[in-house]
Amino acid sequence: MTDIRITVNDQIFTAQLADNPTAHDLIDQLPLTLRFRDFNHVEKVAKLPRPLTMAGFPPATTPRSTTSATTLPRAIWFLYYGDVGYWNGIVRIGRLNAQDMSLIERQPDGFELTIDRG
């Protein structure tokens, strides 16, 4: 796992990215400032500058609350604060702790989040 630093409204916390090609691809894009919006009252989503590799991953997974994930063919980063069930094309790339995820959950559409190496 690799620590990353996340800043939301001047509040800083860390999250852990998995040791896999997709997470490494995200690390290579850091630092990033992304604008997130709420989707379906279970996740926050933001457009990445470019898609992340999905090499070597199964075609689907079951994201849980506090999961960080990405999906093909879009360059979208998901931060889940609720459980969504099994979905095709999603790769888990990391996790946040529940307390920090509740801060993200409370953010309005259009909030910005900055990600940097921990």
**Phi and psi of 101, rounded to 5°?**
-65, -35
Which parts of 2-107 fold into alpha helices (H)? 21-29, 98-105
Please give the residue range of the domain that contains residue 61. 2-117
Sort 65 into a burial class: Cβ within 10 Å, 0-12 / 13-18 / 19+.
middle
CATH number for the domain including 50? 2.40.100.20
pTM above 0.75, yes or no: yes
**Are 104 and 69 spatial neighbours (Cβ–Cβ below 8 Å)?**
no
One digit per residue, pLDDT tens: the chain, 118 residues? Answer: 789 999 999 999 888 888 888 888 889 999 999 999 998 888 899 999 988 887 776 555 565 565 565 555 467 878 887 777 776 777 778 888 767 788 888 999 999 999 999 8
Domains in the chain: how many in total? 1
Tokens 């409370």 map to which residue? Answer: 106
Q: What is the rounded CA–CA span in Å between residue 118 and residue 69?
A: 18
